[in-house]
Amino acid sequence: LQYDFSYLQHGHQLQIASYGEVFLSGEYKVASWVSGTRYALSGDKLAMLNHYLSRIYLASIRGSYSDFNIEGRGISRPGILNKRGIANRSGSSSLLELAKLSGGQDKRLIEAAIERINQTKPESYFVLPLHRHFWRGDYTQHLRPEYSFNVRMVSDRTERTEAGNRENLLGKFLPDGSTNIQRTGGEYYNIMPVWEWDKIPGITCRDFEEDRRTIIQWGEIGSTSFVGGVSDGKYGASAYDMDYDSVKAKKAWFFFDREVVSLGAGISSRGAENLVTTINQCWLSGKVFADKAGKISAVERDKGSSDFNWVWHDSIGYFFPQKEMVSISSGIQKGSWNDINGNCSKDEVSGKVFKMWTNHGTQPSGGQYSLITVPGISRDEMKSYDKNRIVILSNTSSVQAVAHTGLNIIQIVFYQPGMVDAMDLQVSVDKPCIVLIKRQDDNLSVSIADPAQKEKVVDMLIKSTVKNKEMKLAGRLPEGHEAGASAQFRIDWK
């Protein structure tokens, strides 16, 4: 049995922190009071609570700072991403100290989290490789010791990030594929007053002259059903069939060890503004370097060029497999907390921001983009990095697929029944789905998920052109509360 422990509040709002953090604090406070008595939480209930804390909530924190996607409307509050308060060792009232008192907790995980949050150990300390998609919360976590890369989406089963109580006034586009990329953890800490909110990291959006305010309070239901991800626990792929604010796009992310591949296809807009996909918008940390038409140099600003081979900033590399019209800025941006939260100060806030985006033009039809993000890479390594291990097999509105030849992994998003050729295999399915295939000698490990959460069985045909064999698989999918979760299969070619 699988569980989606994403915390939903105010309807179907993703709030792993915020209300989720309040829930954890309250539960552990009571659990610590009754530990060792006949009123203590039963083993299975305590295990579920501990799982949510250790494997979900703490996994959303890099160093001292949480993923901005898990805070709900709290994203507009000063200091909200700083989680040192939950790891305070003075007394026993902090969340993590209470968790240790409740019993049944993996204290090694808790102690490691306290060390990371208090920065007495590095951000990578005791961080284990993990990939998880929350099929009820439309959220993907991808963790490696070197980085976190998480994605927030929205479907017709969930609601867009809420506004209310005069908070999160500009977060209209937050759930449209926003990507939280963290190395040290503080890349986005308190950046929100100076953000350009139609250029939230990862989203595809119309480029407005002024940021658009959120009109619908307390959440707006999503508009499409094909939103989800496949996972084998370590690797995975996620897809977002976007149709919002006159913009349509098929957006997908393919997660490996060192790389995350982002693809967009079928991109169109009916709006009068230019359409852009933002690659990142974070605090500037050091210089930005780029390989532009084979010449490497520092870049402060570029209004738009299709000659970029790669861009590097703050130990993160961005490679462009195909020609993209890329713009870069690294100047001072200004704003106030009051711009995004009517309860906060109107005093000006400013700082230097690294911002990079691709431009799809005005009212595009059938637009595309492709990007390979490599967190934890030095500027010197950028020159010798072998991006040929990443093979983009397809990037259309029907199929988006990527193979990693070094890991022997194939990941495919089928928006409709179809076929893909990859690494001497031919993979066909009879229904829309997301597929992950990992080759291990003569065996194939296959994971399948239905993002639309409608199908019971996916019939798959896999042909090996090398072995001249084929295998038919009737992949039965999870149902009920588990609809959207990944089903695992194994194929032996012997």
Active site residues: 10, 19, 73
Give residues with Cβ within 8 angstroms of 37, minimum separation 6: none
Residue 313 and residue 302 in contact, taking contact as beta carbons nearer than 8 Å: no
CB atoms within 10 A of CB 475: 22
Q: What is the DSSP letter of 128?
A: P
Residue 336 and residue 343 in contact, taking contact as beta carbons nearer than 8 Å: no
User: If you write DSSP's letter for every residue of 133-145 in order, what string do you get?
Assistant: EETTTTEEEEEET
For helices 19-34 and 43-51, give the axis angle rounded to 10 degrees.
140
Tokens, residue 134: 């929350």
CB atoms within 10 A of CB 286: 13
HSE (side-chain half, CA atoms, 13 Å) at 178: 21
Residue 265 and residue 397 in contact, taking contact as beta carbons nearer than 8 Å: yes
**Rounded to 10 degrees, what is the CA torsion of 192, 196, 200, 205?**
150
Which conformational region is residue 87 in: left (phi greater than 0), alpha (psi within -120 to 50 degrees), or beta? alpha
Residue 326 and residue 276 in contact, taking contact as beta carbons nearer than 8 Å: no
Q: Residue 43, SS3?
A: helix
CA 53 – CA 34 distance, rounded (Å): 19
Q: Is the sign of the CA dihedral 111, 138, 132, 475 positive or negative?
A: positive
Q: Residue 114, SS3?
A: helix
Q: Tokens 């239905």 correspond to what residue?
A: 450
Outline where 128-274 has alpha helix (H). none
Tokens, residue 14: 């993703």
Closest C-alpha among 28, 8, 31 to residue 18:
8
Q: Residue 449, SS3?
A: strand
Tokens, residue 139: 């959220």
